[in-house]
Amino acid sequence: MNYDSETCIGVLGGGQLGRMLALEARRMGFRVIKWTGGDVSGAARLADHILTQPFDCPDTLQRFIDQVDVATVEFENIPRELLEKVAAHVPLIPGTEAVSVCQNRELEKSFLADHGIPTAEFRIVDCAEGLAAALRDIAGDVILKTVESGYDGKGQMLVRSEPARASADQLWQDFGGGRAIVEQRIDLAAELSVMVARGQDGSTVTYDPAENEHRDHILDVSIVPARLPQALLDEARTIATRVTQALGYTGVIGVEFFLDQQGQLLVNEMAPRPHNSGHHTLDACECSQFEQQLRVICDLPLGSTRLIKPAVMWNLLGDLWPSETTAPDWTPVLKTPGAKLHLYGKSHAKPRRKMGHVTFMGDTIDEALERANACKRALGC
């Protein structure tokens, strides 16, 4: 557990999570090399060195492993073969197995079911007949999701039970085939998530659960502390810790939950990395989720997860931009006390693209919410 500021951290992926990780790494004195696997949006900047070659380039693999002391992923959809190759040469945190489980909804849901952790009812299907059987088994509306490569609601299709559904053949064709999970649609009372960090020695810490509000399947705001009974929040922390331990996980992980109308917590999915609902930790917690990840990677003691101030995180999507290259006027945010603007350096705005976020802090959660809502209104949301 020696602090070595010469440590070079290798990051697989080129998005905003790696950017915020790199910002914290710089503050802590570490060097960062990113391998983005392709074109970069601008979010990859702030690394000492950026590799943009495809993930199957052997020369780049060699350069990456020659230069980095330890490697991590900033998003989970990194090919398994690459994770294995990297891990054969340098420590990879989190490890290949844990990332593989989280990048595939079939493995993920099966893992949860095997460990007795409650989830929405589901079936795995790979043909129209399978879909027809699943639709007979699961009552009410369902959501079809691709087993791989989904994020921000991509690769999902809602299938309502009323009015009468199209035939399974037609639905399967509309969905595009492949391999899918058919998931019972939960009548949500709330959504929440818990960030957990597990050190190399197996010790764990959790952050205060975030209450998450989505719009069109994309996270809109996270509210911390969540406005839910304490016993429920404690239960969410306990389940999230159980999931982390069962995975034998090392690093920071986000565990997403549905709360149904009966008050039951169901695990939706896990994100094997810092998570969008943990962005407030940069401004509102003693140790951010990104610093925490660096601490685990470098085998340093875990930091305090204490919330210093109630916070509301608002995601800034590209829809807010007047044009692809024109940003909104941030004056309302800049004039709001307790508001911190974070922009990810992406050169082009597109609808649904995450361009940045704002953390609104207040002395109470109501004050933070009032500030967030006033700014949202001022920016036309």
Nearer to Mg ion, 31 or 105 (CB): 105
Nearest to 213 by CA among 146, 274, 259, 156: 259
Q: Are 286 and 263 in contact (CB under 8 A)?
A: no
Distance CA 204, CA 217 (A): 30
Nearer to ligand ATP, 342 or 371 (CB): 342
Interacting partner of 359 out of ligand ATP, Mg ion, none (Cβ under 5 to 8 A depending on kind): none
Nearest to 269 by CA among 117, 116, 95: 117
What one-letter code names the amino acid at 33?
I
Query: CB 378 → ligand ATP: shortest distance, Å?
Result: 26
Query: CB 32 → ligand ATP: shortest distance, Å?
Result: 24
Nearer to ligand ATP, 150 or 310 (CB): 150
153 lines the binding site for ligand ATP (CB under 6 A): yes
Taking CB under 6 A as the criterion, which residues in 252-271 touch ligand ATP?
Answer: 256, 268-269
Nearer to Mg ion, 142 or 287 (CB): 142
Q: Are 224 and 280 in contact (CB under 8 A)?
A: yes
Which is it for the CA torsion 202, 203, 207, 209, positive or negative? positive
CA distances from 270 to 241, 267, 336 (A): 12, 8, 33
Interacting partner of 120 out of ligand ATP, Mg ion, none (Cβ under 5 to 8 A depending on kind): ligand ATP
Taking CB under 6 A as the criterion, which residues in 190-229 touch ligand ATP?
Answer: 191, 214, 217
Binding residue (CB under 6 A) for ligand ATP from 43, 68, 112, 120: 120
Distance CA 23, CA 295 (A): 14
Alpha helices in the chain (DSSP H): 16-27, 58-67, 80-87, 96-102, 105-114, 128-137, 168-175, 230-246, 281-284, 289-297, 331-334, 365-378
Question: Which residues is 341 bridged to in the sheet?
Answer: 358
Nearest to 55 by CA among 92, 94, 19, 12: 12
Nearer to ligand ATP, 59 or 162 (CB): 162
Print the binding letters for residues 246-265 with Mg ion: x by CB under 5 A, - otherwise.
----------x---------
Distance CA 221, CA 264 (A): 22
Print the binding letters for residues 268-287 with ligand ATP: x by CB under 6 A, - otherwise.
xx------------------
Nearer to ligand ATP, 37 or 150 (CB): 150
Distance CA 8, CA 207 (A): 27
Interacting partner of 45 out of ligand ATP, Mg ion, none (Cβ under 5 to 8 A depending on kind): none
* Nearby residues of 120 by Cβ (< 8 Å), 6 or more positions away: 183, 184, 185, 186, 258, 266, 268
Interacting partner of 183 out of Mg ion, ligand ATP, none (Cβ under 5 to 8 A depending on kind): ligand ATP
Print the binding letters for residues 42-81 with ligand ATP: x by CB under 6 A, - otherwise.
----------------------------------------
Nearer to Mg ion, 7 or 315 (CB): 315
- Residue numbers at the binding site for Mg ion (CB under 5 A): 256
- Residue numbers at the binding site for ligand ATP (CB under 6 A): 120, 143, 150-154, 183, 185-186, 188, 191, 214, 217, 256, 268-269
